[in-house]
Structure 1
Amino acid sequence: MDPKLFAAKTFDYLIIGGGTAGLTVASRLAEDESIQVGVIEAGDARFDDPLINVPANTGRTMGDSAYDWGFMTAPQAGTNGRTFPAARGKGLGGCSSVAFLSWNRASKFEYDAWDAFASDKGWNWEGLLPYFRKSTAITADQLNTFPGISAADALAGNNPEYSGFDGPIQLSYNKVDPETVPIYVRTLNKMGIRTNPSPENGDLNGVINSRMNIDSTTGTRSYAATAYFRRSESRNNFHLLTKAQVTKLLSGPTRDQSEVEITGIEFQVGSQTFVAQARKEVIVAAGVYQSPQLLELSGIGNRSLLESINIPTVVDLPEVGENLQDHYVAVSQHMLKPGILTFDELRNNPAFAAEQAAIYAETHGGMLASFNSTLSFLPFSLFLDDEEAKTLIEAFDRAVLSRSNTTPLQAKQYAVQREWFTKGLVPQMELILFNNGFINPEPGKSYITVLGAGLHHISRGSVHIKSKDPLLSPTIDPSILDNEFDAKLVLEGVKLLRQVASTAPLADIIETTTVPPSVLQTDEELLSFVKASVATAQHPMGTLSMGPRELGGVVDGDLKVYGTKNLRVCDASILPVGLGAHLQATVYAVAEKLADMIKVTA
């Protein structure tokens, strides 16, 4: 759409960000033909791009400026001053166009904890479940074939009480898995980690065969652009502008001077600046880093920060950009004995790669239509003995008590986390199996790489603007491993990864471990390895947290920004407490729920 035509329209609803949440909300609001919906996206649409569409290409877009904003964190003191990529999808579909395809919900208990931050609004398991279903369509004729699942369990995995069958996002199991997958699953079963046939039912614990957002008919990624935009693009009341960056929210006081009303937006296309108007609401869905950035550029945030940059304060909300949380990851990599087929064969064997490309072109199947789907979610009881768990919880208590700048909102978050530890029902560690080598793989060799991700950390980072320049990246400081507990949790992940690799039948196919070096044995040595090698899972959340304003919340239970009449936020930044799961399923559900909330009050 021409930016001049977009600017000439007056919209009922303006959505900033054509990503996972933004397109979902926009598509649902546009079902009412009497309203005008505008979506503005900084990136471009890439519907026929194999780097997005072909599952086996997942991950290749990271760091590529055509697909990724290319943010970097500030140096992290807890990791020897290292900086980290802070990847965010740039383009229609946002992060859903580049995410690693795993589709899972957190545990029931984690969503139920949201009630403590916004009661009576249905932000809990029962309130979100209809929207988990509404957003998705599972491939109903597929059954879970993982070891440890009975025929009856496999059927139960398609239970309509928990599964959607006619939603926009298409979900499927891999049609093809490398032969390492069943060996790895049987190894975890031998260690007492059961195969969970129905992780969608609110109990995530165990090893799971994650459904992937892959359309089994076409063998391609199913994401916000192909699913939600495509269902709405022909509507006369749905308007999309791409390659346009919003630089400011325009505001004025309400008639009674009690709140701020957002009247429109300012945006740039190339060197030109335009203005678009909104009659009813503006919904910010620019993501965990850029939603708080836009609020601060518009004068909504911590007054002292805004004054230091000479931005007039419109609404003083000190916690804008605070509470950044993520999952932090330890890495292990193992070279396999000859003859074990993994995804590395696509790298090592041009003839095999050509054969798989032909299969994909003809049948939309084969290895190119698959990706790594084996995940494990573990409470303390599945990877620590009682004494080890007690020691780790004591480290949590010490670390929380030693923090000098804990806000009331964070104190409430820590109390929730502490309850999860003691009840033992919420996963605290995730294992992610990649059936290929990541770290300097040798030509002709096959590997597996296993990540151990701590899921509920103490660290609370931040994202803030550093100047009035809207095109300058914000300062992202996740505070990785800034306390004893977080470091020890990742250390326990390293130990668990070693235990898995030394257990048959997986141990029987490993030729050598390349990461971490086997010479590292003591906790002190392994902790040094953690600080030198820890990575982020790229699951950021919480920078515009839902919660009571007096505790430090930024949005209320209607996802409306405090102090404003008509500004809402819809993306992972509103999550009130960190989730132990991959995030895209939750973000779609939150967006579906918000769309219904808006329709009821429109």
Structure 2
Amino acid sequence: MDPQLFASKTFDYLVIGGGTAGLTVASRLAEDKNIQVGVIEAGDARLDDPLINVPANTGRTMGNSTYDWGFMTAPQKGANERTFPAARGKLLGGSSSMAFLSWNRASKFEYDSWDAFASNKGWNWEGLLPYFRKSTAITSDRVNTFPGISAPDTSAGNNPEYLGLDGPVQLSYNQVDPDTVPIYVKTLNELGIKTNPTPDNGELTGVINSRMNIDSLTGTRSYAATAYFRRSETRDNFHVLTKAQATKILFDPTRKSAGIEATGVEFQVESQTFTAHVRKEVILAAGVYQSPQLLELSGIGNRSLLEKLGISTIIDLPEVGENMQDHFVGSSQYELKPGILTFDELRNNPAFATEQAEIYAKTHGGMLASFNTALSFLPFSHFLADEKAKSLIEAFDQAISSRSKTTPLQAKQYAVQREWLAKGIIPQMELMLLSNGFINPEPGKSYITVLSAGLHHISRGSVHIKSKDPLLPPVIDPKVFDSEFDVKLVLEGLKFMQRVAGTKPLVDIIESTMLPPPMLQTDEELTGFLKACVGTAQHPMGTASMGPQELGGVVDGDLKVYGTTNLRVCDASIIPLGLGAHLQATIYAIAEKLADMIKATV
């Protein structure tokens, strides 16, 4: 769409960000043909791009400036002053175009905890479940073939009470799994970790065969652009402007008792500035890094920061950009004995890769239509002895009591996290099996890599602007390993994976240990390895948190920014307390719910 034509219109709803949440809420609002909806997206539309669409290509767009904003974190003191990539999708569909395809929900207890931050608004398991269903459809009659699942269990995993049947995002199980998957799952079963056939029912523990957001009919990624943009693109009232970067939210200078009113959005296209106008609401869906950035550029944030940068403060909201949470990850990698089929075969064997490409072209199946699906979500009791679990809980208490500064919002969060530890049934660790060499694989060799991700950390990071120049990236500081508890948690996950690798049948296919280097044996040595190699799961949350303003919330239970009448935030930045799950299913549900909340006010 031409930017001048876009700027000439006045929209009822103007959405900043054509990503996971933005396209979802915009598409749903545009179902009312009397409503004019505009979307401003900085990236381009790449709907037919095989690097996005072919599941086996997942990961190849990260760090590529055609698809990724290319953000980097600030140096991390807890990780030997290293900087980390902070991948975010810069294209229509946003980060749903590059996420690792896993589709899961956190435990019901985690969503129910949101009630403590926004009561009576349905931000809980029961209130979100209809939107988990509404956003998805199962596109295949494939069954869950993981070891440890009986035929009745397989049927339970397809229960429509929990799963959508006709939503926009298409879900399916893998058609083909590498040889490593059943061996790995059986090994976890041997260690007492059961296969969970019904992880979508709010009980996310054990080993799961994660459904993927892959359309089994086409063998392609199903993401916000194909799922929500496609269903709305021909509507006369749905207007999407790509390659346009929003730079500022504009407000009526007349301050009303109920709050200030957003009137439009400034955006740039090829260095030229335009203004889009809005009648009803602006919905900020620019993501965890750029939603707080745009709030601050627009004069909403910590007054001391804004004044230092020469930005007039419209609303003093000190917690904008604070409360950032992510999952910190340690890596284990093993070289496998010859003859074990993994995704590495696509890299090692040109004839096999050609054969699989032909299968994919003819049937939309095979290994190119598959990805890594074996995930494990573990409470302490699943991977720690009782005494070790007790000592980790004591470490949590000690870490909280010794923090030099705890905000009211954090105090409430930590109290909830402590309750989860006491319950003993909330996952605290995730193991992600990657049936390929993820870290410096050698030609001709096959591997498995297992990522051990702590799910509920004490560390809290931040995202803030460093200049009033809207085209400069924000300062992203996840505060990796800012708490000793977080280090100990990921260390125990790494040590448990060593135990898994030494257990039959997995041990029988391992040729050698690559990471951590086998000469590292003590906790001190492994901690040194972790700090040198830790990464993040690219699951950032919480930088415009939902919660009471007096506690440090940025948005209320209607996702309205405090002090405004018609500016809402809709993306993972509103999540008040980090979830022990991959995020895309939750972000779609948040956007679906917000769309209904807005429709109810029209």
The verdict on a shared fold, with TM-score over 0.5 as the criterion, is yes
Deviation string, structure 1 residues 436-484 (Cα, Å, up to 9, x no partner):
0012212111100001000000000000000000000000011000111
Residues in 2 aligned to 1:409 and 1:331: alpha-carbon distance in whole angstroms: 31
Deviation at 1:143, TM superposition (A): 1.2
CA contact (8 A) 1:140 1:165 kept: no
For residues 218-229 of structure 1, what are the structure 2 equivalents within 5 Å?
218-229=218-229
> Match of 2:418, as an amino acid?
R
Partner of 2:570: 570
Please tell me whether residue 304 in structure 1 is matched to residue 304 in structure 2: yes
Partner of 2:440: 440
Residues in 1 aligned to 2:416 and 2:539: alpha-carbon distance in whole angstroms: 20
Residues in 1 aligned to 2:402 and 2:37: alpha-carbon distance in whole angstroms: 48
Partner of 2:412: 412
> Match of 2:584, as an amino acid?
Q
Partner of 1:31: 31
Please tell me whether residue 545 in structure 1 is matched to residue 555 in structure 2: no
For residues 382-461 of structure 1, what are the structure 2 equivalents within 5 Å?
382-461=382-461
Q: How many residues align?
A: 602
CA contact (8 A) 2:140 2:216 kept: no
Deviation at 1:201, TM superposition (A): 0.2
> Match of 2:3, as an amino acid?
P
Deviation at 1:283, TM superposition (A): 0.1
Partner of 1:534: 534
CA contact (8 A) 2:326 2:578 kept: yes
Deviation string, structure 1 residues 316-370 (Cα, Å, up to 9, x no partner):
0000000000000010000000111100000000000000000000000000000
Partner of 1:207: 207
- SS class of match (2:449): strand
Residues in 2 aligned to 1:302 and 1:256: alpha-carbon distance in whole angstroms: 21
For residues 155-170 of structure 1, what are the structure 2 equivalents within 5 Å?
155-170=155-170
Deviation at 1:499, TM superposition (A): 0.7
CA contact (8 A) 2:139 2:217 kept: no
Residues in 1 aligned to 2:140 and 2:85: alpha-carbon distance in whole angstroms: 38
Partner of 1:16: 16
CA contact (8 A) 1:199 1:205 kept: yes
Residues in 1 aligned to 2:331 and 2:464: alpha-carbon distance in whole angstroms: 30
Partner of 1:496: 496
Runs of 4+ aligned residues of structure 1 deviating over 4 Å after TM superposition are none
Partner of 2:332: 332
Deviation string, structure 1 residues 210-232 (Cα, Å, up to 9, x no partner):
00000000000000000100000
- SS class of match (1:296): helix
Partner of 2:149: 149
Residues in 2 aligned to 1:255 and 1:492: alpha-carbon distance in whole angstroms: 53
> Match of 1:277, as an amino acid?
H
Residues in 2 aligned to 1:366 and 1:377: alpha-carbon distance in whole angstroms: 27
> Match of 1:157, as an amino acid?
G
Deviation string, structure 1 residues 565-595 (Cα, Å, up to 9, x no partner):
0000000000010000000000000000000
Partner of 1:360: 360
CA contact (8 A) 1:253 1:259 kept: no
Deviation at 1:405, TM superposition (A): 1.9
Deviation at 1:98, TM superposition (A): 0.6
- SS class of match (1:5): helix
Deviation string, structure 1 residues 75-116 (Cα, Å, up to 9, x no partner):
011111011000001100000011000000000000000000
Deviation at 1:256, TM superposition (A): 3.4
Residues in 1 aligned to 2:440 and 2:240: alpha-carbon distance in whole angstroms: 42
- SS class of match (2:48): coil
> Match of 2:308, as an amino acid?
S
Residues in 1 aligned to 2:329 and 2:82: alpha-carbon distance in whole angstroms: 15
Residues in 2 aligned to 1:483 and 1:155: alpha-carbon distance in whole angstroms: 43
Deviation string, structure 1 residues 182-225 (Cα, Å, up to 9, x no partner):
00000000000000000000000000000000000000000000
> Match of 2:313, as an amino acid?
T
Residues in 1 aligned to 2:438 and 2:160: alpha-carbon distance in whole angstroms: 38
> Match of 1:243, as an amino acid?
K
Please tell me whether residue 107 in structure 1 is matched to residue 103 in structure 2: no
> Match of 1:226, as an amino acid?
T
Please tell me whether residue 376 in structure 1 is matched to residue 358 in structure 2: no
Deviation at 1:293, TM superposition (A): 0.1
Partner of 2:42: 42
For residues 461-472 of structure 1, what are the structure 2 equivalents within 5 Å?
461-472=461-472
Deviation string, structure 1 residues 370-415 (Cα, Å, up to 9, x no partner):
0001100000000011110111111111111111221100100000
- SS class of match (2:576): coil
Residues in 2 aligned to 1:601 and 1:217: alpha-carbon distance in whole angstroms: 38
> Match of 2:586, as an amino acid?
T
Residues in 1 aligned to 2:413 and 2:114: alpha-carbon distance in whole angstroms: 10
- SS class of match (1:142): coil
> Match of 1:229, as an amino acid?
F
Deviation string, structure 1 residues 289-318 (Cα, Å, up to 9, x no partner):
000000000000000000000100000000
Deviation string, structure 1 residues 237-291 (Cα, Å, up to 9, x no partner):
0000000000000012456344111000000000100001000000000000000
Partner of 2:81: 81
For residues 285-300 of structure 1, what are the structure 2 equivalents within 5 Å?
285-300=285-300
Partner of 2:347: 347
Residues in 2 aligned to 1:116 and 1:311: alpha-carbon distance in whole angstroms: 33
Residues in 1 aligned to 2:3 and 2:484: alpha-carbon distance in whole angstroms: 51
For residues 173-252 of structure 1, what are the structure 2 equivalents within 5 Å?
173-252=173-252
- SS class of match (2:398): helix
Q: Which consecutive residues of structure 2, in runs of 5 or more, have no partner in the other structure?
A: none
- SS class of match (1:15): strand
- SS class of match (2:250): strand
Residues in 2 aligned to 1:255 and 1:372: alpha-carbon distance in whole angstroms: 52
> Match of 1:485, as an amino acid?
F
> Match of 2:252, as an amino acid?
G
- SS class of match (1:195): coil
Partner of 1:66: 66
Residues in 2 aligned to 1:530 and 1:516: alpha-carbon distance in whole angstroms: 9
Deviation at 1:555, TM superposition (A): 0.2
> Match of 2:298, as an amino acid?
S
- SS class of match (1:390): helix
Deviation string, structure 1 residues 36-70 (Cα, Å, up to 9, x no partner):
00001000000110000000000001100010000
Residues in 2 aligned to 1:494 and 1:151: alpha-carbon distance in whole angstroms: 33
CA contact (8 A) 2:131 2:589 kept: yes
Deviation at 1:139, TM superposition (A): 2.8
Q: CA RMSD in A?
A: 0.7
CA contact (8 A) 1:209 1:373 kept: yes
Deviation string, structure 1 residues 519-564 (Cα, Å, up to 9, x no partner):
0011111111111111100000000000000000000000000000
CA contact (8 A) 2:114 2:576 kept: yes
- SS class of match (2:563): coil
- SS class of match (2:600): helix
Residues in 2 aligned to 1:252 and 1:236: alpha-carbon distance in whole angstroms: 28
Residues in 1 aligned to 2:224 and 2:483: alpha-carbon distance in whole angstroms: 37
Residues in 1 aligned to 2:507 and 2:55: alpha-carbon distance in whole angstroms: 28
